[in-house]
Amino acid sequence: MSVQDRRARERQQRERLIVATARELAEAEGWDAVTTRRLAEAIEYSQPVLYSHFSGKDAIVRAVALEGFTQLAATLRDARHVARSPRPALLALARAYLEFAHTRPALYNAMFTLAELPFAQPDTPAPLHQAFAELRQALAPFAPPRNVDTLAEVVWSALHGLATLSRSHRLRPDHAEQRLALLVRTATTSERRSS
């Protein structure tokens, strides 16, 4: 059985190579540059090899997106943990979110517009749930327990909207900090836990 083990290991490694290469190519030249031919050439295999790992190009994008959610979750966790009190923690998390979207636009795009990954559903992949959980945690001190999820969804929507709209040049570029401050202020003052 050792032969099959080795083969499985090599397959897995090559699969990781495909996903990593797709991500790098997208981050370097945009998703338009990620064609099956270019991707195959970059990993030094022929096109059909891609289809022995993934059902199609969509599935590759989805894999990149999933990887992105793992990274985003880690980024948010780190940001949340540097601050000690709840409000600075939320501010740091929000800032980290927007910076993630801004510095890795291709990856963010895969996560939110290219790939179709169900979220609020039973079969939600773990990384997605985890990223949302970070936001939820950061907001818990500011909402009555029953409403934390709703607040998290709204704040997440706001962050996502800020990220995408500012990316498409639809928000004033020099007011990012004001928007962030306003968002955190409203999210933390309107729904006090004690209410």
How many whole angstroms separate alpha carbon 74 and alpha carbon 68? 10
How many whole angstroms separate alpha carbon 128 and alpha carbon 145? 21
Which residue, 40 or 184, is less far from a copy of itself as judged by CB?
184
User: Could you say which residues in the range 16-35 bind DNA, by CB under 7 A?
Assistant: 34-35
Which residue, 11 or 81, is less far from DNA as judged by CB?
11
Type of residue found at 132? F
Work out what residue 157 binds among a copy of itself, DNA, none; the CB cut-off runs from 5 to 8 Å by kind: a copy of itself
x/- string (CB under 7 A) for DNA, residues 34-63? xxxxx------xxxxx-xx---xxx-----
Burial of 60 (0-12, 13-18, 19+ CB in 10 A): buried
Read off the tokens for 57.
């190009």
The piece of 28-36, 38-46, 81-89, 116-124 that touches a copy of itself (CB under 8 A) is 116-124
Strands (E), the chain: none
Q: Which of 56, 82, 113, 144 binds a copy of itself (CB under 8 A)?
A: 113
Work out what residue 103 binds among a copy of itself, DNA, none; the CB cut-off runs from 5 to 8 Å by kind: none
How many whole angstroms separate alpha carbon 179 and alpha carbon 140? 21
Type of residue found at 135? L
Read off the tokens for 120.
């609020």
Give me the residues that bind a copy of itself (CB under 8 A), please: 112-113, 116-121, 128, 147, 149-151, 153-154, 156-162, 164-165, 168-173, 175, 178-179, 182-183, 185-187, 189-191
